[in-house]
């Protein structure tokens, strides 16, 4: 039994199909890392998942660009500038509202929330998304 390289037309998978599969895995992995980041309560763990998300997104972008240059992947139709601006503006408004909400809640914190014998966080064992 002998092995054949992917570029020599081996029977395992065509190079383009293999790269598309890797690209899809990188997209899925970046989504999973993003979820892990948002679910992490430990700052060190959150930073680790943030770093993993960023490096995975960079790798996915590089692979996509390489495939696009080699006519192995065609992008969907382009969005108009006004559509992009509207989406960015909506995201910025949501982010601003979130910051305001957090600031309001931090300034309204009860004086008992800092008491040494009062638990700061109740475990949420029934929630499948709790980490």
User: Is the pTM here over 0.85, yes or no?
Assistant: no
Flag whether 92 is in a domain: no
Flag whether 7 is in a domain: no
Could you give phi then psi for residue 33, rounded to 5 degrees? -65, -40
Distance, CA of 115 to chain centre: 36
Flag whether 112 is in a domain: no
Average pLDDT across the chain, whole number:
78
Q: Report pLDDT digits (tens) over 85-128.
A: 898 998 888 888 888 888 888 888 755 555 444 444 444 444 44
CA separation for the pair 23, 40 (Å, rounded): 26
* Cβ(67)–Cβ(23) below 8 Å: yes
**Structural domain range at position 45:** 12-76
The total of structural domains in the chain comes to 1
For 63-84, b/e burial (b = at least 16 CB within 10 A) is bbeebeeeebbeeeeeeeeeee
pLDDT score at 49: 96
* Cβ(38)–Cβ(129) below 8 Å: no
């Amino acid at each position: 039994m002998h092995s054949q390289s992917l570029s020599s037309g081996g029977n395992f998978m065509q190079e383009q199909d293999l790269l598309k599969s890797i690209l899809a895995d990188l997209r899925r992995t970046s989504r999973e890392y993003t979820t892990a980041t948002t679910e992490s309560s430990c700052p060190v763990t959150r930073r680790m998942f943030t770093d993993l998300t960023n490096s995975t997104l960079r790798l996915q972008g590089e692979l996509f660009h390489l495939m696009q240059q080699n006519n192995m992947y065609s992008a969907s139709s382009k969005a108009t500038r006004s559509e992009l601006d509207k989406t960015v503006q909506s995201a910025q408004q949501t982010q601003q509202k979130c910051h305001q909400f957090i600031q309001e809640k931090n300034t309204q914190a009860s004086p008992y929330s800092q008491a040494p014998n009062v638990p700061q966080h109740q475990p949420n064992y029934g929630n499948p998304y709790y980490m």
